[in-house]
A = this chain, B = another copy of it.
């Protein structure tokens, strides 16, 4: 009943410097959620081979899927392929199938700069899909996606269904009780239902509630029991029904 785990690695100086706002991780948060995959980490690093390598080493070893965003173009600031290779301790090699595809597509205008798009970490698999001109490169459990939002979206859409598992179930309770006063009761219910994740979020701006409590599980009957157990602990007069 536990979800497969995933991490997102965003590579890009432009995100860290605020020149560009990340939309790819934000999209993937919702995509993975909808697919039932448990996103456990998001890491954003600059365009540096060592930074990418360190992150890949850790993430690829800790989670079932790693999705990278950005750094896959032909210029000096595109270091994702080299970083993944270094993190996984393999060489960068020119993929013959990808090279053939590039030569056939570019014809006479093929050059070394374009051929560099066929360089992949050794052992990479190409994932083809009907509506993709270029395959998704997958090295072990690392899926390499482009930084340009339109392309990121399109490439992920082409491979998303391979990750689908049973969905998450979530219930939300709003209360006018104070979070300080709730803490012990939440702790007790959380301890009794280890497969239900309980989150507590105070709100200082709403006039209708003070705390939003979320309960979440892959096991719907466990979730129903936990909600029941929590409601029995709360002051019914101060539980609020919100849309």
- Which A residues lie at the B interface, using CB under 8 A? 13-21, 26, 29-30, 33, 39-47, 51, 73-78, 111, 113-114, 116, 148, 150-151, 168, 170, 179-184, 186-187, 190-191, 197-205, 214, 216
Q: A13-B199, A148-B202, A151-B204 are in contact. Are A182 and B75 (CB under 8 A)?
A: yes
A30 proximity list for chain B (CB < 8 A): 18
Instruction: Report the Cα distance A201→B14, complex, angstroms.
Output: 9
> B51, B73, B180: which contacts A114 (Cβ < 8 A)?
B180
A interface, over-half SS: mixed
Instruction: Report the Cα distance A186→B205, complex, angstroms.
Output: 49
Instruction: Report the Cα distance A127→B168, complex, angstroms.
Output: 41
Report copies per complex.
2
Q: A30-B18, A113-B180, A181-B113 are in contact. Are A73 and B42 (CB under 8 A)?
A: no
> B39, B51, B75, B150: which contacts A204 (Cβ < 8 A)?
B150
CB distance from A61 to the nearest CB of B (A): 12
Question: Is B74's CB under 8 angstroms from A199's CB?
Answer: no
Question: Is B75's CB under 8 angstroms from A183's CB?
Answer: yes
Instruction: Report the Cα distance A204→B154, complex, angstroms.
Output: 13
Instruction: Report the Cα distance A46→B76, complex, angstroms.
Output: 34
Question: Is A41's CB under 8 angstroms from B44's CB?
Answer: yes
Question: Is A17's CB under 8 angstroms from B43's CB?
Answer: no
> B29, B76, B187, B216: which contacts A183 (Cβ < 8 A)?
B76
Question: Is B14's CB under 8 angstroms from A21's CB?
Answer: no
Instruction: Report the Cα distance A202→B26, complex, angstroms.
Output: 21
Q: A73-B200, A148-B204 are in contact. Are A111 and B180 (CB under 8 A)?
A: yes
> B26, B47, B114, B199: which contacts A77 (Cβ < 8 A)?
B199
> B116, B151, B179, B205: which contacts A75 (Cβ < 8 A)?
B179
